[in-house]
């Protein structure tokens, strides 16, 4: 199952969730810092069961970055909140396995997971203004994050907080320590959020659309900062975004999500240059590029994301897929495609044959990008 890492046994990977997870291997050899196995997050609503995340698996090594890409409602954020154990709704049904540094989290007690949160794994959010408490100073919020997990006095914690503010590039950290979130600019707020997330040296950082709410000029700075800090601390990073441009800069591996499932996964290079799923093609086609002719229009993915209560039969993408009729026997409407190995560590869930996809990619899609 751990396709990204276990390149030597690709034959074992056919269907997610059907193959027993090699958890002992991944946990014991210490290579994978985070392993997610067949993660399902469902919500019991009055309208029916919402399958927000429906069987997602991936692995992440220390020091590496995994980009999770998809449209709104594809399950990216739900996945990350699931890893952090932040689904507090009583209606959330979570199953599967999450291995963090050899420890399984879904079966672990809430108190154990709370102790790991902010300590071993930390998270930054999309909108730093609403994610910071308006009534407490930036410094106080960082100190709080530090002192939950460390028995240090206030003075030491303050010193640490100022250190972190300085490290994330906030000028005059001594003075800004006292300031409140509304006195910070958007970029500075996100820097403060990063300082708060990293104050305990977590080995896993989950960034949920960290640049979406920021100015374009600031976005690059924040991404650079995350990359620098990752190098410095050697932590694993999960970068969640709908912006392929963001992950192109920063991710080692990519996971493309659609309707709560992983539809393509592999190294960033492979997914960018040899994408194997029509949805990934669509994402690439709708990405603005500076080297593209100005007269050419972006090609959006037609239609809108499906309801997660009534996920389309067969391949969830078939109603929007221009190539839904390429495979024979209407199979795209009747049978759900499972992830299949394309090449080294590169997987895709599409009914089309390798030849069909290669032909469409090289003849129809690639020339237009």
Partner 1 sequence: MAAYIIRRVFAAVLLLLVVSAVTFAIFFLVPRLGGQTLDSMAAQYVGKSPDPDVIAAVKKNLGLDQPLYLQYWEFVKGIVVGADYTFGPDPVTCNAPCFGYSFKTHTEIWPQIVDRIPVTLSLAAGAAVLWVVSGVAIGVLSALKRGSVFDRISMGVALAGVSLPMFFTGLVVLALFGNGEYVPFADNPVEWAANLVLPWCTLALLYSALYARLTRAGMLETMGEDYIRTARAKGLRERKVVVKHGLRSALTPLVTIFGMDFALLLGGAVITETVFSFQGMGQFAIKGVTEADLPKVMGVTLVAAFFIVICNLLVDLVYAAIDPRVRLS
Q: Which residues bind partner 1 (CB under 8 A)?
A: 84, 86, 88, 114-119, 122-123, 125, 127, 130-135, 137, 144-145, 148-149, 180, 182-183, 193, 196-197
Q: Closer CB to partner 1, residue 84 or residue 315?
A: 84
The Cα 208–Cα 68 span in angstroms is 9
Q: Sheet of 48-61: strands edge to edge?
A: 48-61, 32-45, 92-100, 103-104
Q: Which is nearer to partner 1, 127 or 163 (CB)?
A: 127
Closest separation between CB of residue 302 and partner 1, Å?
32
CB nearer partner 1, residue 84 or residue 250:
84
- Radius of gyration, alpha carbons of the chain: 21
Shortest reach from residue 267's CB to partner 1, in Å:
29
Using CA of residue 114, residue 236, residue 18, residue 358, what is the dihedral sign? positive
Cα distances from 231 to residues 155, 201, 228, 298, in angstroms, run: 28, 12, 5, 35
Residue with tokens 């009055």: 46
Q: Are 96 and 55 in contact (CB under 8 A)?
A: yes
Closer Cβ to partner 1, 34 or 131, answer by number: 131
Cβ 131 to partner 1, closest distance in Å? 4
* Shortest Å distance, C-beta 340 to partner 1: 36
Give me the least distance between CB of 202 and partner 1, in Å please. Answer: 10
Dist. CA 168–CA 226, nearest whole Å? 9
Nearest to 265 by CA among 193, 210, 340: 340
Measured from the CB of residue 196, what is the shortest distance to partner 1 in angstroms?
Answer: 7
Residues pairing with 32 in the sheet? 61
Question: Cβ of residue 84: shortest distance to partner 1, in angstroms?
Answer: 6
Nearest C-alpha neighbor of 187 from the set 131, 128, 227:
128
Q: State residue 175 phi and psi, 5-degree precision.
A: -80, -45
Strand partners, 51: 42
Minimal distance, residue 65 CB to partner 1, in Å: 19
d(CA 296, CA 286): 11
Cα–Cα distance for residue pair 182/164, rounded to 1 Å:
19
Contact 246, 283 (CB under 8 A): no
CB nearer partner 1, residue 15 or residue 148: 148
Q: Which residue has the tokens 């199952």?
A: 1
- Which is nearer to partner 1, 137 or 356 (by Cβ)? 137
Query: Which letter does DSSP use for residue 149 in this model?
Result: H
78 vs 254 by CB, closer to partner 1: 78
CB of 168 to partner 1, least distance (A): 16
Q: Decide whether 148 or 156 has the Cβ nearer to partner 1.
A: 148
Closer residue to partner 1, CB minimum distance, 180 or 272: 180
């Amino acid at each position: 199952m751990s396709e990204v890492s276990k390149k030597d046994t690709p034959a074992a990977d056919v269907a997610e969730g059907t193959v027993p997870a090699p958890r002992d291997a991944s946990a014991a050899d210490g290579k994978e810092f985070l392993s997610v196995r067949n993660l399902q997050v469902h919500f019991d609503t009055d309208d029916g069961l919402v399958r927000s995340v429906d069987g997602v698996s991936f692995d992440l090594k220390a020091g590496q970055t995994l980009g999770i890409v998809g449209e709104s409602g594809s399950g990216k954020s739900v996945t990350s909140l699931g890893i952090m154990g932040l689904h507090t709704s009583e209606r959330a049904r979570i199953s599967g396995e999450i291995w963090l540094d050899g420890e399984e989290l879904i079966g672990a007690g809430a108190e154990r997971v709370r102790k790991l949160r902010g300590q071993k794994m930390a998270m930054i959010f999309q909108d730093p203004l609403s994610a910071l408490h308006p009534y407490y100073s930036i410094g106080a919020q960082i100190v709080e994050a530090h002192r939950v997990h460390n028995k240090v006095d206030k003075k030491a914690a303050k010193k640490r907080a100022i250190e972190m503010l300085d490290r994330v590039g906030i000028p005059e950290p001594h003075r800004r320590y006292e300031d409140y979130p509304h006195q910070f600019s958007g970029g500075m707020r996100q820097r403060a959020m990063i300082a708060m997330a990293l104050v305990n040296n977590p080995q896993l950082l989950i960034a949920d659309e960290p640049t979406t709410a920021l100015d374009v000029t600031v976005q690059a700075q924040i991404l650079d900062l995350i990359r620098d800090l990752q190098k410095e601390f050697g932590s694993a990073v999960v970068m969640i975004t709908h912006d392929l441009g963001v992950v192109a800069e920063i991710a080692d591996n990519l996971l493309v999500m659609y309707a709560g499932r992983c539809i393509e996964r592999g190294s960033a290079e492979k997914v960018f240059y040899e994408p194997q799923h029509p949805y990934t093609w669509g994402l690439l086609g709708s990405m603005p590029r500076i080297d593209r002719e100005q007269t050419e229009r972006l090609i959006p993915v037609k239609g809108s994301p499906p309801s997660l209560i009534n996920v389309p039969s067969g391949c969830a993408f078939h109603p929007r897929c221009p190539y839904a009729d390429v495979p024979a026997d209407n199979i795209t409407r009747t049978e759900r495609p499972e992830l299949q190995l394309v090449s080294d560590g590169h997987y895709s869930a599409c009914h089309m044959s390798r030849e069909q996809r290669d032909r469409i990619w090289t003849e129809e899609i690639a020339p237009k990008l």
